[in-house]
Amino acid sequence: MALEDLRRIALFDGLSDAQLAQLEHVGSEMVAEPGEELWREGQPADMWWVMLEGSVNLLKRVGKEETVVGAMTTPGQWAGGFAAWDPNALCFATGRVVERTRLMRVPSHELGRLGNEWFAFGVHFIRGLVDTVRRVESNARQREALVALGTLAAGLAHEINNPAAAATRAVDSLATTSEALVSAMLRLVSQGVTPGQVARLEELRHVAAPQAAALDRLAVADREDELADWLADHGVDEAWMLAPALAAAGMDTGWCDEVEEAVGPAALAPGIEWVAHSLTVHALLSEVKDATGRISSLVGAVRSYSQLDRAGVQRIDLVEGLESTLTMLAHKLEGITVERDFTPEVPTIEGIPGELNQVWTNLIDNAVDAMDGNGTLRVSTHVDELGLVIVTIEDSGPGMPADVQARAFEPFYTTKDVGKGTGLGLDISRRIVVERHSGEISIDSRPGRTSMRVSLPVGGQS
């Protein structure tokens, strides 16, 4: 590469021979053949490329295909180098050689150094502009994260409140029922019930009609009335309180006759009370177990979703992440039919589970919003013919118009009402999938079915 080559390029018209010599010193000439990839979309923009002669296509991935969005065919056209002003800058497109091409490449740090020496004010202005844009974007992303966090927190509080309240009610009832159970036992003892009679009563306590579980509410209510009448006729106090527990366990008036025969008329009332309160205690303990188990499951789902106790990059079970996300968003899924189609042979992949869970949250949340609280959400996984793991989130909403699909992944683009979205959900999802996990994300939409398709390599990040 000679100074004459650089002098003929209009891009460098304002540079002196000394400056061109400096540029030539820090740069190097490269000859590339057709098909060669010079830089890739999403990779750090740590090299500045200047066309000397030849042709390079600029490609961006749109859905499942790479689309040519521009070309470098004129000497002096350039690409990359943004890391000279922004250390986090990435390449916006992929550069692929079309015909034999000569380029000059300059490391971004050298470009930044020369820029500071030659155009201090210009570089200061550019950096200020970059910082301002990044700050605006960062604030918007933080707001998006806070809105999502608030939604998840409200949903989690709603989900935990129900089992917590159920457990509290059951524990309160247990205290009262336990006292009544002890009282009934003391009254049995005072009636001189023998050990053999107690043993027979215990046998009868464990006798539940086989058809009890199959009884509908109306049948149970009828049985309660029959039992209440029988107990009242036989002098048992508070028959209306005891009958429901006995009816729920499948007991009938014939069973009551057996209890009277076992313990005698004098001990019938405390005997019936003891059995009824024992059944109630068992039912209440089951309620507490179910409620606390539900809370434990929710806590486990939160840990799985947040991944706070796990390493960053790891082997991921995608189904686990999808299930924990569905649990976290359960409050938004009321009225939605959720269909799962998880192929058993889907392998684990390497990636960052917390970030992928953010993707599932964004996609599911958008799908639910599109259905306006009524429809079918279908979540599926499978492996395609190329060995990629495919996650599909599909909704039965009205679909996306073509113009919305075309801009869906643009930052700050949203069709939601003011205050309901920042337009960063799909942009963040695309960055996580494409830039962080070397995957693809695409939209296939028509009225009545919108499908978001995420393809991930088993190896994960590149």
**pLDDT tens sequence across 352-362:** 887 888 889 88
pLDDT at 421: 46
Mean local confidence (pLDDT), 135-150: 62
CATH domain 3-118 topology: Jelly Rolls (2.60.120)
pLDDT at 423: 45
Mean local confidence (pLDDT), 84-99: 86
414/19: higher pLDDT: 19
Mean local confidence (pLDDT), 112-124: 76
The correct answer on CATH 3.30.565.10 for the domain covering 313-456 is yes
In tens, the pLDDT along 267-292 reads 999 999 999 999 889 888 888 888 88
Give the model's confidence band at 461: pLDDT under 50 very low, under 70 low, under 90 confident, else very high.
very low
pLDDT at 419: 43
Q: What is the 3-state secondary structure (H, E, C) of the chain?
A: CCHHHHHCCHHHCCCCHHHHHHHHHHCEEEEECCCCEEECCCCECCEEEEEEEEEEEEEEEECCEEEEEEEECCCCCEEECHHHCCCCCECCCEEEEEEEEEEEEEEHHHHHHHHHHHCHHHHHHHHHHHHHHHHHHHHHHHHHHHHHHHHHHHHHHHHHHHHHHHHHHHHHHHHHHHHHHHHHHHHHHHCCCCHHHHHHHHHHHCCCCCCHHHCCHHHHHHHHHHHHHHHHHCCCCCHHHHHHHHHHCCCCHHHHHHHHHHHCHHHHHHHHHHHHHHHHHHHHHHHHHHHHHHHHHHHHHHHHHHCCCCCCCEEECHHHHHHHHHHHCHHHCCCEEEEEEECCCCCCEEECHHHHHHHHHHHHHHHHHHHCCCEEEEEEEEECCCCCEEEEEEECCCCCCHHHHHHCCCCCCCCCCCCCCCCCHHHHHHHHHHHHCCCEEEEEEECCEEEEEEEECCCCCC
432/452: higher pLDDT: 452
In tens, the pLDDT along 324-334 reads 888 878 878 88
User: Is pLDDT at 422 greater than 50 in this prediction?
Assistant: no
User: Is pLDDT at 381 greater than 90 in this prediction?
Assistant: yes
* Residue the block writes with tokens 């004010």: 121
311/21: higher pLDDT: 21
In tens, the pLDDT along 146-171 reads 666 666 677 677 777 878 888 888 88
pLDDT at 390: 93
User: Is pLDDT at 10 greater than 70 in this prediction?
Assistant: yes
User: Is pLDDT at 233 greater than 80 in this prediction?
Assistant: yes
pLDDT at 32: 93
Query: What pTM does this model have?
Result: 0.48
In tens, the pLDDT along 64-73 reads 567 787 889 9
User: Is pLDDT at 211 greater than 60 in this prediction?
Assistant: no
141/44: higher pLDDT: 44
User: Is pLDDT at 98 greater than 90 in this prediction?
Assistant: yes
3/340: higher pLDDT: 340
pLDDT at 305: 63
Share of the chain above pLDDT 90, in %: 25
User: Is pLDDT at 315 greater than 70 in this prediction?
Assistant: yes
Mean local confidence (pLDDT), 116-145: 65
User: Is pLDDT at 413 greater than 80 in this prediction?
Assistant: no
pLDDT at 130: 61
Give the model's confidence band at 230: pLDDT under 50 very low, under 70 low, under 90 confident, else very high.
very high
145/184: higher pLDDT: 184
Map out the domains of the chain as residue ranges: 3-118, 156-297, 313-456
Give the model's confidence band at 395: pLDDT under 50 very low, under 70 low, under 90 confident, else very high.
very high
pLDDT at 341: 93
pLDDT at 239: 87
pLDDT at 132: 66
